[in-house]
Amino acid sequence: MERNIAVKLCKPVLTGAVATLAFAAAASAMADQVVKIGSVEPTTGGIAHLGKDNENGARLAVEEINAKGLTIGGQKITLQLDAQDDGADPRQATQVAQKLVDNKVVAVIGHLNSGTSIPASKIYSDAGIVQISPSATNPTYTLQGFKTTYRVVATDAQQGPALASYAQSKGIKSVAVVDDSTAYGQGLANEFEKKAKALGLKVVSHDATNDKAVDFRAILTKIKGENPDAIMYGGMDATGGPLAKQAKQLGLRAKVLSGDGVCTDQLAELAGPAADNVLCSQAGAALEKMPGGAAFQAKYQKRFNQGIKFDAPFAYDAVYIVVDAMKRANSTDAAKILAVMPSTKYDGVIGTTTFDPKGDLTHGIISIYGYKSGKKTFLDQVKM
């Protein structure tokens, strides 16, 4: 008798427990799945302003996608940007890359520099995670045989020659080359030098410094004695600005030529009036030439209360390209996302993005800029 009563008393308890479990299961099914996308750039150090620009571009895309709502395979998805600082340091970049793998990101937008993108790429390759750099331009990045490496900008194999050809068209006949000994700076300088020599320009010297240098007077004094028409610098704006400024102070009349690492609004602040003597290239379309440039600029300004440095629209599109791959794969699985990346055809802010078998853009664009009264000014565009 007592046993039967106990059993009867247990039935409502069991029924309630089953209902609770069923409700929990239903709630779990209804809950959004969190999918992490990595974003890596230097947000500390001399080029932190460029790194933050990349991160902001990626963040804006993630926020927009979440606001609109995303469903993959019948499951509601919430994207989470896992932003990491690599300090523009190759060793730190590999540590951050492993951290992102451990955090189970499904894709990575980054890194900013070639010198960090290249060593980190092996870690992403081993993990089978797609890596899309919005700014790394050294050709080596996509020449390692990895199936995971992609970029949404042109390469230095295009940027260097385009800059050399433009310099020749402006009457420059001789040039001194200086690089900052990084994968990016050295790679760009070498590509420029090869094309310059092929065009018949005289390369009077090639010197190397480092990416932390602030005093270029010894190198510039030597170059002054060589009397070139131009100085080509492979490096970033944090060092290119002081180089241009010191060249003017020493009385050099040579034009300063450089690539996208130097070609920023920040250069005018770093170089002062000497910025007006700079001609530079960027491995991508100018904002005013991008199909969605004006609209993106307005959104970026509203969200972050500041202007775009340069690569933000490329990082923004890179996030959307990953999401486009998720939709086409009907999955948030990293391997399935990677499998559909080669067939990408995405119309975004920067234009239509398609990739060649290496992961480079099918059609790269190089933009040429100068500075007038300290304001960066678009001059020309070269389609490669």
Strands 174-179 and 149-151: unpaired
Q: Which residues lie closer than 8 Å to 379 by C-beta, 6 or more apart? A: 279, 368, 369, 370
CATH match of 33-153+288-353 with 3.40.50.2300: yes
Rounded to an integer, what distance in angstroms lies between the CA atom of residue 109 and that of residue 315?
7
DSSP 171-215: T--EEEEEE-SSHHHHHHHHHHHHHHHHTT-EEEEEEE--TT---
Cβ–Cβ under 8 Å, residues 235 and 253: no
pTM of the model: 0.87
Domain extents in the chain: 33-153+288-353, 157-282+367-383
Rounded to an integer, what distance in angstroms lies between the CA atom of residue 160 and that of residue 233?
11
Dig out the tokens for 312 from the structure. 């933000």
Q: Please, what are the averages of pLDDT over each run of 10 residues along the chain (384 residues)?
A: 43 46 46 95 96 98 99 98 98 99 99 98 99 97 98 96 96 98 97 98 98 96 98 98 98 97 94 97 94 97 95 98 99 99 98 98 95 95 84
Class of domain 157-282+367-383: alpha beta
Rounded to an integer, what distance in angstroms lies between the CA atom of residue 282 and that of residue 19?
61
Cβ–Cβ under 8 Å, residues 315 and 57: yes
Which long-range contacts link 96-99 to residues 24+ away (Cβ below 8 Å)? 96/40, 96/120, 97/40, 97/123, 97/124, 98/123
Dig out the tokens for 74 from the structure. 């019948």
Q: Where are the alpha helices (DSSP H) in 214-342?
A: 217-226, 237-249, 266-271, 293-304, 312-329, 334-340
Dig out the tokens for 347 from the structure. 């119309």
pLDDT at 296: 98
pLDDT at 383: 82
Rounded to an integer, what distance in angstroms lies between the CA atom of residue 282 and that of residue 259?
6
pLDDT at 11: 47
pLDDT at 30: 57
| SS3 of residue 128 by DSSP | coil
Rounded to an integer, what distance in angstroms lies between the CA atom of residue 266 and that of residue 307?
11
From first CA to last CA, the distance across the chain in angstroms is 90
Rounded to an integer, what distance in angstroms lies between the CA atom of residue 156 and that of residue 163?
10
Rounded to an integer, what distance in angstroms lies between the CA atom of residue 243 and that of residue 256?
9
Rounded to an integer, what distance in angstroms lies between the CA atom of residue 79 and that of residue 92?
25
168, HSE (Cβ side, Cα atoms, 13 Å):
17
